[in-house]
Amino acid sequence: MAALRDRPRACSSCDDGRVGPPRWFDTHAHLERYEPGELGPLLDRAAAAGVERVLAVSTGIVSSRRTVRLPPAVLRAVGAHPLQAAEGTGGLERLATAPGVVAIGEAGFDAQGPALVVQEAVFRSQCGLAADRRLAVVLHVDAAWEPFLAAADALAAVPVVVRHYFTADAVQAAWHAERGHYLSFGRPLLRDPALAAVARDYPAGLLLVETDAYPLPGRTTEPADVVAVGERLGALRGWAPDEAAARLWENSGRAFGLPV
């Protein structure tokens, strides 16, 4: 199974049944955008922080082709971001069969994207593919809640839905909770009190964390930073860091069909 580093789980120096150090899972990073020379050290820093799984998420067909060529230690999502919807989904079906692909995405709606009719067609196509292949959909919805709702019937046959980088309000969270969707939180959780309230109240078994890391001058976020997000979420829920890591590890594994 893909993991950044194989670490023994049993504590060799203790006989009280304790397990090894916490394992964290960054459920959303754009690893294909890093130069190969940057990627290795970035993954090493993640592993050193206890981040044992990273899901590399794609934003278009070209991006998906790069994602499936990433090192086998990372998990993959292939798909077409709404901002890239004009590229279409040609070739996505084949890319979805690549080893390590556990999700389709990111897919959804964005107010800055092309015509809604184009975004909707690409979204529906990806939902159909996810349903056929029994894969999760990683959902991107940015300032486009109404257009998304108008097409959300397409998610009915999708086995797992993950709303990524959730920064919206309690009304949207409740809509997702009713449908058993996962919400994934990123670094905004560290600074936004209203978002913290949403994360505190959301069903415990449907919480995920992520960094949405990508290279950008001045932005330093990388997969290792998911630990701070997970610990913050744990503090909001009354979970010690180890418990937060264990719960989020299990939720993430369940969401993406991985052994936990």
* 225 forms part of the interface with Zn ion (CB under 5 A): no
CB of 159 to Zn ion, least distance (A): 21
Reply yes or no: is the peptide bond before residue 178 cis, omega within 30 of 0: no
* 110 forms part of the interface with Zn ion (CB under 5 A): no
Which residue of the chain is nearest Zn ion when measured via CB?
212
CA separation for the pair 125, 81 (Å, rounded): 12
Report yes or no: 62 and 89 within 8 Å, Cβ to Cβ.
no
* 142 forms part of the interface with Zn ion (CB under 5 A): no
Q: Which stretch binds Zn ion (CB under 5 A): 10-18, 87-95, 205-213, 232-240?
A: 205-213
* 231 forms part of the interface with Zn ion (CB under 5 A): no
CB of 201 to Zn ion, least distance (A): 24
* 222 forms part of the interface with Zn ion (CB under 5 A): no
CB of 77 to Zn ion, least distance (A): 10
Q: Considering beta carbons, is residue 167 or 237 the nearer one to Zn ion?
A: 167
Q: Which stretch binds Zn ion (CB under 5 A): 126-134, 171-179, 212-220, 251-259?
A: 212-220
β-pair partners for 108: 140
Exactly one of 212, 222, 225, 231 binds Zn ion (CB under 5 A); which one?
212
CB of 38 to Zn ion, least distance (A): 18
CB of 243 to Zn ion, least distance (A): 27
Which residues of this protein are in contact with Zn ion, per CB under 5 A?
212
